[in-house]
Structure 1
Amino acid sequence: MPMDVSFSFGSFDFFCNSVVMPLCALVGEKVEPKCYARNIDVGGSLLFQPATLAILFVALIMTSIMIYHIKSKYTAVGRKEIVLFFYSYMIVIIFELMLYSGAIPASSSIYSYVVAMYNGMIIACYIILLLNGFVGFQWAEDGTATSLWIIRGSAIAGFFVTFFISIATFKSITGFDSKSPVLLFLIFYVFCPASLLIYVVLQIILVIKTLDDRWPLGDICFGISFFIIGVIGQYFLSEIICTMGDHYLDGLFWGVVFTLLSIMMVYKYWDSITKEDLEFSVGGKTNVWEIKDPMINDEEMMVLAEEHYKLKQQVMGNRR
């Protein structure tokens, strides 16, 4: 039975001692969890983490549904930007299905490269979410090539930088050391939480400063609460969950469930800051921000109304 490992900054051993993580077989002392979910035999092959895999399949379905509803809101502000986040999350799920199921064993020659790509996609996902936090402030006109390629370019850069750092760390090349993966530790446990915090703060400011409705704040609170509960259960309560669940569940299952719930709240929040308009959306959703601006005068309102009418005619013409 694996021994208890104390926390050390820059080391994954403490977390690997609590829950299954793909990179644990490649860094540090290659520590194994004290307790983990039992495997099942499928056609003579072992399938790891069956309960977690079931939730990941549910996550794929739910993410597909959310993407469909986002894309049905044809003129919603930030529609093209936010859908990038859900696509990236879907790719992360696919990597998790491959790695957690044991489809690619740790002994495989390609395992380290797949884990490096998985790490890169996680960081790309965080970067996309972070930059989506600025979309509501119109730093660049949403839906344009400029806005989309800033996000895509940043995510691609984050992916390749993380991929390189991961491979260099796993292979102990170019000055990196698999026994001391400090840079990877900083990426996952400093950059990722900081990105999430900035996104949350930006959305709170957006709601307070520009929206009449305060209900979206509830979505933000639920989302961050689900995420924190997931992290606590995954990293700090995994052994308890595993023991109480008779080795059918562990902290990984808990983390995946609450990550999905937090992702769903990101969608719910985005959906809540757009109104409904039967004329514009198949799903009966509207496509404008609920922005309050007492400085708009009657003449400006007439101009906006005329532009709205022209846009409506254009959309109706395209449907014909």
Structure 2
Amino acid sequence: MSTAPDLKFAFGNFNYICSTVSLTLCPLVGDADGIEPICYSRNVRLVDTLIFQPSTLIVHFIALVMTAIMIYHIRSKYTAVGRKEIIMFFYLYMLVTIMDLLLISGIIPTSSDLYPYLTGVHLGLISATFWCLLLNGFVGFQFAEDGTPLSLWSIRISSFVVFLAVAFLSIATFQKIGPFDPLHPVALWVVFFIFNGAALLIYVILQIVLVVNTLDDRWPLGDIVFGIGFFAVGQVILYVFSLDICNFAKHYIDGLFFGTISTLLSVMMVYKYWDSITKEDLEFSVGSKQNVWEVKELLGEDEMANGGLYGHHQQQHQQGYGGYNGASPASGAYGQAHFYDERY
């Protein structure tokens, strides 16, 4: 490096952070040649290719597997509130992990012409993920009914706009387009730390309000506390103790390894929290699906004695559908189906 990095934390300056931990943007900001961390995890050679951060690379693969499992379980909860909304967050987290895997490991080298553009995409995906999580915080308040086009497309479109805006800002900063300068990436610093951090903080506050004011069960608060705790510990390890860990571990691992693990754990707690407040599908189901569980309550004792719902249908059939007031034999007194249709 041409100049030694400034080790003092400063607003709008990545020098201190990048001298501590190797982020994807560090080779592109702060100096003409980027900023190299003082201590980082040693690399390994694999098929004539240097692989950086091999231990963190393993965590990324584990994160992809765990995210796929969480997505599978979310998709299987057909009647859960916000199922389609929260799954967008996990898809975005999976994309962020893939991009992190490719850039941090050196599979896409920093010398590549594509590296600045892919890093811009990576940073855009990170902000879009936080934004998507923030909007999911409003789903439980039912400002717009979950699963409807209004709810889904408002999240999709706004998240895509955030992705494009942050990706453009990042690439413009790296390429020194217009007023943006890689030596003074203040706007990028604000987005990376303040915008993303504010989105996470608002989400946490919304969920605490939701649990306290809406739910009788207070156990989901524990999931929120553990989730924010894992994330906070990971950030502290990443930006404060990374050099100490790297030196102590003889360059085998650094703070990025534990930071990635902590981020994965916090994402898993987001799933655990969502699962804990939607574990009883029938409680959150909407529409005609509940009717099938209320049929017995609507039948009188004589009707139950004559064979229940099936006997009731037989009697109506023998009467030439007279008791249905013109409705089909598969319908109730008001033309409503006794049997529910799948919501999705």
CA-CA distance at 1:289 after TM superposition: 4.1
**Any residues of structure 2 matched to 1:116-155 within 5 Å, and which?**
116-155=120-159
Give a deviation string over 1:71-130, Cα, whole Å, max 9, x none. 000011000000000000000010011101101111111110000000100011001000
Tell whether 2:67 aligns with 1:63: yes
Amino-acid identity (%):
54
Q: Contact (CA 8 Å) 1:11, 1:185: kept in 2 or not?
A: yes
Specify the code of the residue in structure 1 equivalent to 2:108: I
Which of residues 287, 291, 295 in structure 2 aligns to 1:306? Answer: 291
Using structure 1 for the length normalisation, give the TM-score: 0.88
CA distance in 2, matches of 1:241, 1:82: 35
1:109 aligns with 2:113: yes
Query: Is 1:208 paired with 2:212?
Result: yes
Contact 1:275 1:289 in 2 (8 A): no
The one of 217, 227, 231 aligned to 1:227: 231
For 1:187-202, what aligned pairs fall within 5 Å after superposition? Answer: 187-202=191-206
Q: Deviations over 1:202-258 (max 9, x none)?
A: 000000011010000000000000000000000110011111222111011011000
Q: What amino acid sits opposite 2:104 in the alignment?
A: Y
Q: Which residue of 1 aligns with 2:330?
A: none
Equivalent residue number for residue 98 of structure 1: 102
Q: CA deviation at 1:313?
A: 2.8
Paired with 1:35 and 1:311, the residues of 2 have a C-alpha distance of 67
Greater mean deviation of Cα atoms: 263-272 or 37-46: 37-46
Find the counterpart in structure 2 of residue 299 from structure 1.
none
Q: Helix, strand or coil for the counterpart of 1:248?
A: coil
Task: Give the secondary-structure state (helix, strand or coil) at the position aligned to 1:269.
Answer: helix
**Which residue of structure 1 lines up, in the alignment, with residue 316 of structure 2?**
none
- Partners of 1:190 and 1:219 lie apart in 2 by 24
| Aligned residue number for residue 16 of structure 1 | 18
SS of equivalent residue, structure 2 residue 341:
helix
Instruction: State the 1:274 CA deviation.
Output: 1.3
Matched, 1:53 2:70: no
What's the C-alpha RMSD, in Å, of the aligned pairs?
2.0
Q: Describe the SS at the equivalent of 2:45.
A: strand
Residue 28 of structure 1 and its aligned partner are, at CA, apart by 1.1
Give the Cα–Cα distance (whole angstroms) in 1 for the partners of residues 214 and 284 of structure 2. Answer: 9
Does residue 1:32 correspond to 2:32, yes or no? no
2:314 corresponds to which residue?
A: none
Conserved? CA contact 2:291–2:340, under 8 Å? no
Q: Which secondary structure does the structure 2 equivalent of 1:162 belong to?
A: helix
Pair 1:158-2:143 in alignment: no
Q: In structure 1, what is the equivalent of residue 307 of structure 2?
A: none
**Aligned-pair distance for 1:275?**
2.8
Q: Distance in 1 between matches of 2:93 and 2:290?
A: 38
Aligned partner of 1:279 in structure 2 is none
Q: How many corresponding residue pairs?
A: 296
Greater mean deviation of Cα atoms: 199-208 or 37-46? 37-46
List gaps (5 residues or longer) in structure 1.
Answer: 277-285, 291-302
Structure 2 CA distance for aligned equivalents of residues 161 and 55 of structure 1: 29
Shift of 1:306: 3.2
Is 2:241–2:255's contact at 8 Å kept on the other side of the alignment? yes
Are the aligned partners of 1:227 and 1:258 in contact in 2 as well (CA < 8 Å)?
A: yes
SS in 1 for 2:50: strand
From the superposition, tell whether residues 166 and 4 of structure 1 become closer, same or farther in structure 2 (CA, over 3 Å): closer
Taking structure 1 as reference, are residues 209 and 106 closer, same or farther at Cα in structure 2, changes over 3 Å only?
Answer: same
**Aligned partner letter, 2:25:** L
1:3/1:34 contact within 8 Å kept:
no
Which amino acid letter does the alignment assign opposite residue 61 of structure 1?
A: V
> Aligned partners of 1:235, 1:305: CA distance in 2, in Å?
50
TM-score w.r.t. length of structure 2: 0.82
Unmatched 5+ stretches in structure 2? 295-336
Higher relative contact order (CA 8 A, sep 6+): 1
Whole-Å Cα distance in 1 between the matches of residues 22 and 338 of structure 2?
A: 51
Q: Is the CA contact 2:132–2:155 (under 8 Å) kept in the aligned structure 1?
A: yes
What does residue 279 of structure 2 align with? 275
User: Partner letter of residue 216 of structure 2?
Assistant: D
Contact 1:11–1:28 (CA under 8 A) maintained in structure 2: yes
Q: Residue 171 of structure 2 aligns with which residue?
A: 167
Number of the residue aligned with 2:8: 6
Taking the TM superposition and a 5 Å limit, the aligned residue runs for 1:217-296 are 217-276=221-280, 286=281, 288-289=283-284
Whole-Å Cα distance in 2 between the matches of residues 311 and 158 of structure 1?
Answer: 45
